[in-house]
A and B are shown apart, each in its own frame.
Chain A
Amino acid sequence: MIINTGDGKGKTTAALGLMMRAWGRGMSVKMFQFLKHTGARFGEHRTAERAGISIESRGDGFTWLSKDMDETAAIAIDQWAHCKAAINAGETDLIVLDEATYPVTYGWLDADEVASTIANRPPHIHIVVTGRDAHEKLVSIADVVTEMEDVKHPYRDYGFKAQPGLDF
């Protein structure tokens, strides 16, 4: 189990790259995105579609834009049910839970349940979790944890805007 956390850039992209690497080896891969809009058509979705890789996004956009937090939480709980089913099925070699740290941090998902589902997964499958401030219960069961440390960030330091194809 791998966690990509920290304030710097590269958490989701590193997970995407890992999916690409595993896919290159002929492994089966799947990504579940929390928070990002259901039906999002970012660059990764477009390439994934062509490569036959499944990315399931369930969310209503980023949380600070949400008007109804109960609804946002309910979507995350539903998304976790899909993740859990895929993990327990054991049919996918690599499963990415993108931005999954947030619903745990916000208390929408039970940290113990998420950690135990991942810890007790079928032994041959790999899990990647991305997002800031990974919960200590997730960190404790992970094999690899990388903190993407923000050394220089253009959107913060220079006021640049996120660009399609590069940032999403």
Chain B
Amino acid sequence: MLVVYHGDGAGKESAALGVLFRAHGRELPVRHVRFDDTRLDDPDGDDLALQKLGIPSDVIGEPGANGADPLWNCAAHHMSAMNEGVIVLEGLLDAVTKGWLSARNVADTFAHDDSLLHIIVTGRKPVPEIVEIADLVSNMRAVKQRDANSPAIAGIDY
């Protein structure tokens, strides 16, 4: 089952975390993978909560000299090791949008997963190849947002 949370509004990452929280309560296997290494030295509320709950999490950063394949292989490895439960691929859509990963390659991996695993991908812009094969897609639409100048709140925004 492939779930996509995209859009400009708040709630994409928190919805994905919420599903992990539920699945963890039911003792299903869970894992979190983040496609963004900018906060490695400064864990945010999400990282701290995952640590406190003992949910395994990985950070996958910008592709190095060998391109993005090793990054994607790492995520694909985690998926193939899980036959059920939930894996969150936070920021995957953004990694595709930025050109780190190939949309076709990612969509093919998802399409070949016939396990009971729930795969949740998040990011701002929907990727057509991924949306097409997804089972559930929610667009988080920003109806009202805080002033762009108001500072982000620790524990709420990050």
In the complex, the answer to whether B156 meets A18 with C-beta atoms within 8 Å is: yes
CB of B40 closer than 8 Å to a CB of A: no
A-chain residues with CB within 8 Å of residue B110 when the two chains form the complex:
none
B-chain residues with CB within 8 Å of residue A166 when the two chains form the complex:
19, 22-23, 86, 118
In the complex, the answer to whether B141 meets A146 with C-beta atoms within 8 Å is: yes
Q: Which of A48, A93, A143 contacts B155 (CB 8 A)?
A: A93
Q: Which residues of B contact A (CB under 8 A)?
A: 1, 3-5, 7, 9-26, 28, 44-53, 86, 118, 126, 131, 134-146, 153-156, 158
Per-residue 0/1 for A19-51: is the Cβ within 8 Å of any B Cβ (1 yes, 0 no)?
111111101000000000000001111111011
In the complex, the answer to whether A43 meets B141 with C-beta atoms within 8 Å is: no
In the complex, the answer to whether B86 meets A43 with C-beta atoms within 8 Å is: no
Contact (A10, B25) CB under 8 Å given A16-B18, A24-B46, A25-B48: no
In the complex, the answer to whether B146 meets A21 with C-beta atoms within 8 Å is: no
In the complex, the answer to whether B25 meets A165 with C-beta atoms within 8 Å is: yes
A-chain residues with CB within 8 Å of residue B138 when the two chains form the complex:
6, 8-10, 148-151
The binding surface of chain A is classed by DSSP as mixed
A-chain residues with CB within 8 Å of residue B158 when the two chains form the complex:
21
A45–B126 Cα distance when bound, in Å, is 32
Max chain A CB contacts within 10 Å: which of B15, B23, B118, B134? Answer: B15
Looking at A84-92, A102-110, A152-160, the stretch in contact with chain B turns out to be A152-160
In the complex, the answer to whether B144 meets A24 with C-beta atoms within 8 Å is: no
In the complex, the answer to whether A16 meets B22 with C-beta atoms within 8 Å is: yes
Task: Bin the interface of chain A by size.
Answer: 35 or more
21 residue pairs A–B, Cβ–Cβ below 8 Å: A5-B143, A6-B138, A8-B138, A9-B15, A10-B138, A12-B18, A13-B14, A14-B11, A19-B21, A20-B45, A23-B52, A25-B45, A48-B25, A126-B156, A146-B10, A147-B9, A147-B140, A152-B4, A154-B135, A165-B25, A166-B22
How many A-B pairs fall under 8 Å by CB? 192
Q: Which of A124-156 contact B (CB under 8 A)?
A: 126, 139, 142-154
CB of A123 closer than 8 Å to a CB of B: no
The binding surface of chain B is classed by DSSP as mixed
Max chain B CB contacts within 10 Å: which of A5, A10, A19? Answer: A10
In the complex, the answer to whether B14 meets A151 with C-beta atoms within 8 Å is: no
Q: Which of B44, B140, B145 contacts A148 (CB 8 A)?
A: B140
A127–B23 Cα distance when bound, in Å, is 24
A-chain residues with CB within 8 Å of residue B19 when the two chains form the complex:
13, 17, 166
Max chain A CB contacts within 10 Å: which of B11, B26, B144, B156? Answer: B11
In the complex, the answer to whether B24 meets A43 with C-beta atoms within 8 Å is: yes
Contact (A13, B47) CB under 8 Å given A151-B131, A154-B1: no
Contact (A17, B24) CB under 8 Å given A6-B141, A152-B137: no
Nearest A residue to B141 by beta-carbon distance?
Answer: A147
In the complex, the answer to whether A153 meets B155 with C-beta atoms within 8 Å is: no
